[in-house]
Homo-oligomer: A and B are copies of this chain.
Amino acid sequence: MLCINSKQMHSVVSYGEIIDKIEEAFRIQQNGHFSMPDRIHADYKGNTLLLMPCFTPAAMGTKMVSLFPKNVNKGLPRLYGEMILNDAETGEPLALMNGAELTAIRTGAVGGVGVKYTTPADISVLGIIGTGIQGISQAVYTTMIRPIKKIVIFDRDQKSMEQFEKNYSEKFPEIPVKKADSAENLAEISEVIITATNSLTPVLPDVKDLLKGKHIIGIGSYKPDMREFPEALFKLTQTIFIDTELAKKESGDLTVPLQKGWMDEKQVVPLGKLVTGEVNIDHSSQTTLFKSVGMALFDLLTADYIYKKAKQKKIGTEVDL
């Protein structure tokens, strides 16, 4: 089987190709030709292992992600991951790749697809709250999709903001990065705001006037006790787009508003319906909201494509299992 490390994964595909694959995943999700058991959380001593298997007629694989919160104190990544890709016809293992990198790549592209379908074509100021690995990936994909002229960032961790600035500026030296003093300050300036934190309480200001007409994408909360969206947001929009139904059970950004009656389940619409054209919105004049928790189908299509390109370009290390 082919082992493909994070650098190799990046080297074989372009951002645009991954965006295409994520759109394909949204279309497959709508046509129903796949099987994706609810992802499994295995918890032990405060650590979590997520298992995400998925099948389509053309691909099969499983992503494993471990989340060890105390790694941060050891100077290690909180998240490690491995993706095993199998032959859909026989089950034979085809590839092993870095699951943390895959998560960053595909989550960035899911955000990118969110930007493509929920924001006007001419937005130029992007705000990022949470400047970790996911925040950077979101910024890069958004810059690929829209004519971004300025990035505004906010994070409680100054070092993380400096790291973001360094990484982003290496890719896009001509685009200025501004560190906001507060989330209020960031919201005021930004046209689209992407939240990528592990916060337990809202990271956006709970002020209608600051959020009105903005395009909000939340990718951080993946557990019921994690929440990035404030109540004010739900007074500004009739429709909440999601990537997968599981979001309604898994993310505090939806469970809390549903429980508290800030929104009704009928207002929740799959983003896939925008991708297929089944639903249309006029995003130029209204506040939009897209909440992503991710799904194995994104990982599978992305990994399958990376594998095929790596194979074609003879990149990666073949190991005999």
* Chain A residues in the interface with B (C-beta under 8 A): 3, 5-6, 35, 37, 40, 42-45, 47, 49, 51, 53, 55, 57, 60, 62, 64, 66-68, 71, 74, 76, 79-80, 82, 84, 86, 89-93, 96-98, 317, 319-321
A321 touches which of B3, B43, B60, B79 (Cβ 8 Å) = B3
- The reply to whether B80 and A92 form a contact with Cβ atoms under 8 Å apart is yes
Q: Evaluate contact between B84 and A68: CB separation under 8 angstroms.
A: no
Determine if B40 and A53 form an interchain contact, defined as CB atoms under 8 angstroms apart: yes
A86 touches B91 (CB 8 A): no
Would B62 and A90 count as touching, CB distance under 8 A? no
A3-B3, A47-B55, A66-B91 are known contacts; what are 20 more A-B pairs with Cβ within 8 Å?
A35-B42, A42-B53, A42-B55, A44-B55, A44-B60, A45-B57, A49-B60, A51-B51, A51-B62, A60-B66, A68-B89, A76-B90, A80-B86, A80-B90, A80-B91, A80-B92, A80-B93, A84-B84, A97-B321, A98-B321
Of B6, B49, B90, which contacts A68 at CB under 8 A?
B90
Residues of B within 8 A of A84 (CB): 64, 82, 84
Some 16 contacts from A to B, beta carbons below 8 A apart, are A40-B53, A44-B60, A45-B55, A47-B55, A49-B55, A51-B51, A51-B62, A64-B84, A67-B91, A71-B91, A76-B92, A82-B93, A82-B96, A82-B321, A96-B319, A97-B321
Given contacts A68-B91, A86-B80, A90-B71, whether A43 and B35 have CB atoms under 8 Å apart is yes
